[in-house]
Amino acid sequence: MLIDVSGFTQLLYHASYKDEVMRVVALAMKRLFQDAADTARETHDVEIINTTGDGFLAIATGATPSRTAVRFCQGIRAHFDEKVKAMIHSVPFRQRVDLRIALHHGTVHRIAIEGLTAGDHPVYIGDDINLIARVINSQVARRYGLAVTRGFYRRLMMTKGDAPMADEVILDRNRYPEQIEVYRLPSEIPDMSAKKRR
């Protein structure tokens, strides 16, 4: 999963002119990242593997990673809407900020590198990281705040056969060779226990 604060670059630009405003912005971002870390700890099967300045990349594991990812992201959104936005709206200028989330099932490779950073943090690579970076900038993510790929949608909804028509198809042959089908998060997610009983 990739979580990003849209509007953050413009927010920083305006805040950089006044130290007291920059402090408010820094506290708001600290709140976002601290809430994310706390929620990941409480969820148990979520690990934040990298930060992106105004967001972060995380992975969900366990028996039901897609459901774990959705619960985690819903918790982050609730914290953001309740706490972070209120702090940002207290600055003396108007700047819209929103949380954009992209969810995808894929493979991430962990490479341990000694001495690269303090604490020897590993590097994470993978084609699926490139893919999710496209999804976070999709119109679905911009309009609805949360976008999921076809693979994620099928696992979450336990769909057999073809998935329904995508809400958006990303075609960018220069950056990614295959089309990416993007969906809104469904409003109703099937109960796993009901599916198992059938």
Residues recorded for the chain: 198
Q: What pLDDT shows up at residue 193?
A: 60
Contacts of 155 (CB under 8 A, 6+ apart): 66, 105
CB 156 within 8 A of CB 70: yes
* Domains of the chain with CATH codes: 2-188 (3.30.70.1230)
d(CA 115, CA 46): 26
Can you list the alpha helix ranges (DSSP code H) found in 16-96?
19-43, 65-79, 85-88
pLDDT digits (tens, 9 = 90+) for 21-60: 899 999 999 999 999 999 999 888 999 998 888 899 999 9
pLDDT digits (tens, 9 = 90+) for 145-198: 999 999 999 999 988 877 788 998 988 766 667 789 999 998 888 876 655 544
pLDDT digits (tens, 9 = 90+) for 127-140: 899 899 999 999 99
At residue 120, what is the residue type? D
Q: Label the pairing between strands 98-103 and 146-149.
A: parallel
